[in-house]
Structure 1
Amino acid sequence: MPLFSNLPAARLTLSYLLHDPSSVLPHAQVPTFLFLPLPLSAALPSKPSPQVRALVLDKDNTLCPPETNMMHPTYLTKLDKIRSSPEFSHSSHSILIVSNTAGSTASAVHEAEAKALEAELGIPVLRQHPERRKPFCGPDVLKYFSDHGVTSNPAEIVVVGDRLGTDVVMAREMGAWSMWVRDGFRNPEMPGRDYRGSLAKMEVRFERLLRGGLGKRAPFPKGFPS
């Protein structure tokens, strides 16, 4: 896969890095999806903790290895715990998968991948508009949650994914909270296997520089009282 396979996302991320670098930083981070805390609200940097009613999940290198649907049993168990938690058990539509593969285009491959995920997980997959792929599909995500009576407030949504330039930037654009899966997908039986590409590894260095070296912090979601 080309290093910059999503050029619009790369341009937006570069613009943030040049003019507002704090906006590419996540509000919280975990090594892998298996470490996602419950309740999610307790891990966010607001006191008192914000209300969380909806969750956006990335797929590739967050829930499973890139460009596959190979779900490890421990990840399925974690998903079940999240779905049954008080933050998300109130609605079958409170969790949405937003991927730049499954459901991202009208191609037969991406549609088949989305349907397979929905059948296996029982979690809906967003069908993205071809001109509004992640990180630009925030309005479509908000419409989904609003149309299904989950929430119309983006500050009640948490976006979880392994990429700063798509998942975290999407959360910033839509006014939601972000949770960064820093190390991507790791098979508990082979924890040393790293599925991250060159750009994802570069993002780790950028994050470390911005947060540790320059003392930057992610701004609260737009409209959320700081």
Structure 2
Amino acid sequence: MNISATLNSIRLLFNPNLALPHQVCNDFNSIKVPIGQFIIQNQPKIKAIVLDKDNCFAEKGDDKVYAGYTEKWKELINYYSKNNILIVSNSAGTNDDINHSQAKILEKETGIAVLRHSTKKPGCYNEIIDHFKKRGIVNGPEEILIVGDRLFTDVLMANLMGSWSIWIKNGVVRSESIICKFERYLYKNLVKNSNNFPQFPKNANNFPKGFK
């Protein structure tokens, strides 16, 4: 059970805009590299990328990059380097991952570090910020971008931490779970109202055109 998601989702009752991503991509291949410049110009440069695993760059339950995404994966690593990318999963690297065995396999398969975290997304954002700050990669969360397929974990976390977000709307396989259907329904209804805007990082004051 993801207690962090359950508790933090209550915030959406008071501020549903926290579920709004800054950019929407159909799948991982739709991400434009370099990331960030196409979101808002003249704002803090994206220096670090956080990737969700299941149904983002990998099939659910798999520990390697989905075959159809290998070229995009190489492009992302070549531009940002492995040290500037972090995998944050709600399976691999958590307390549910006994001896972090899945995290170790994932690191071996991808060559990318997997965050070890006791609190699941969206509550582990301070650990993400600390990871990049300790390595001198970022000065603050506004230089971090979260990529994931879930509004209530990945996107909500990005908005809570003051970072950017890309929502992978359909992923490797379009999920038909009740929660994912509800997320798509919520997004559709939020963007109908022109007064609804995603929460922007602290230093980003200009709203991007065509974010829908």
Is this a same-fold pair by TM over 0.5?
yes
Could you say which residue in structure 1 is the equivalent of 2:52? 58
Task: Tell me, yes or no, if structure 1 residue 208 matches structure 2 residue 188.
Answer: yes
Gaps of 5+ in 1: 187-193
In 2, the alpha carbon distance for the partners of 1:210 and 1:103 equals: 33
Matches within 5 A, 1:144-183: 144-183=131-170
Task: Tell me, yes or no, if structure 1 residue 9 matches structure 2 residue 5.
Answer: yes
Q: What is the aligned counterpart of 1:19 among 14, 19, 22?
A: 14
Decide which moves more: 58-67 or 202-211: 58-67
Give the alignment's TM-score, normalised by structure 1: 0.84
Could you say which residue in structure 2 is the equivalent of 1:95? 85
Q: SS of 2:201's equivalent?
A: coil
Q: Deviations over 1:180-201 (max 9, x none)?
A: 0011224xxxxxxx34522012
1:184/1:196 contact within 8 Å kept: no
In 2, the alpha carbon distance for the partners of 1:151 and 1:6 equals: 28
- 1:51 Cα offset (Å): 0.5
- 1:223 Cα offset (Å): 4.2
In 1, the alpha carbon distance for the partners of 2:62 and 2:6 equals: 23
In 2, the alpha carbon distance for the partners of 1:27 and 1:83 equals: 22
The one-letter code of the counterpart of 2:141 is: P
In 1, the alpha carbon distance for the partners of 2:177 and 2:183 equals: 10
Q: Deviations over 1:102-123 (max 9, x none)?
A: 1011642x71211111111110
Q: SS of 1:178's equivalent?
A: strand
Could you say which residue in structure 1 is the equivalent of 2:125? 138
Give me the CA root mean square deviation.
1.8
In 2, the alpha carbon distance for the partners of 1:196 and 1:154 equals: 32
The one-letter code of the counterpart of 1:83 is: I
Task: Tell me, yes or no, if structure 1 residue 37 matches structure 2 residue 61.
Answer: no
Task: Tell me, yes or no, if structure 1 residue 74 matches structure 2 residue 68.
Answer: yes
Gaps of 5+ in 2: 207-212
Which has the bigger relative contact order, CA under 8 A and spacing at least 6? 2
Q: SS of 1:212's equivalent?
A: coil
The one-letter code of the counterpart of 1:81 is: E
Task: Tell me, yes or no, if structure 1 residue 198 matches structure 2 residue 178.
Answer: yes
- 1:7 Cα offset (Å): 3.6
- 1:70 Cα offset (Å): 4.6
Could you say which residue in structure 2 is the equivalent of 1:124? 113
In 2, the alpha carbon distance for the partners of 1:138 and 1:126 equals: 11
In 1, the alpha carbon distance for the partners of 2:111 and 2:153 equals: 24
The one-letter code of the counterpart of 2:167 is: W
Aligned length: 206
Give the alignment's TM-score, normalised by structure 2: 0.89
